[in-house]
Amino acid sequence: MNAFPGTATLLEELDKKLMVLLRDGRTLIGFLRSVDQFANLVLHHTIERIHVGKQYGDIPRGVFIVRGENVVLLGEIDRDKEDNIPLQKVSVDDILDAQRREQEAKQEKEKLLAKALKERGLHYIPDLSHDDMF
């Protein structure tokens, strides 16, 4: 059992490569350099990884400070398995274009759903949990 309760257990993760999932849906990968009592994180050599289908792209972000309340999930990257992910790496421009197309398709689908529900006398409230965060 760990002697440190709460966020102090993150001290064991210092200088390790972590994946951090943020509340707005972004995925960051970087080396944990600092943490405080509020679980605020400082990541070094950080990349933002974007997944679309079976493809991914990495955007270099450098030093990244994350407010603790925005962290949904974090975990250490297994360096032995890191190079064997079953996804195709593409350029930043390609993944951003694929992400844009995916978001446009989602918006079009929501418009069609809203229209169909309106015709049936129902009101549709779209899920804004991620789209309004950027």
pLDDT > 90? residue 31? yes
C-alpha 97/C-alpha 91 separation (Å) is: 10
User: Could you give all domains of the chain from N- to C-terminal order, each with its CATH number?
Assistant: 6-133 (2.30.30.100)
CA triplet 96, 100, 101: central angle to 5 degrees? 120
Q: How, if at all, do strands 17-22 and 71-76 pair?
A: antiparallel
Pairing of strands 55-66, 71-76: unpaired
Tell me how far the alpha carbon of residue 102 is from its chain's centroid. 16
pTM of the model: 0.77
Can you spell out the DSSP letters for 82-99? HTT-SSEE--HHHHHHHH
Rounded Cα distance between 134 and 124, Å, is: 22
Q: Could you report the per-residue pLDDT of 40-98, keeping only the tens digit for each?
A: 999 999 999 999 999 999 999 999 999 999 999 999 998 888 778 889 999 999 999 99
24-33, 41-50, 105-114: range with lowest mean pLDDT: 105-114
Q: How many whole angstroms separate alpha carbon 43 and alpha carbon 62?
A: 8
Q: Which two tokens stand for residue 47?
A: 């990349």
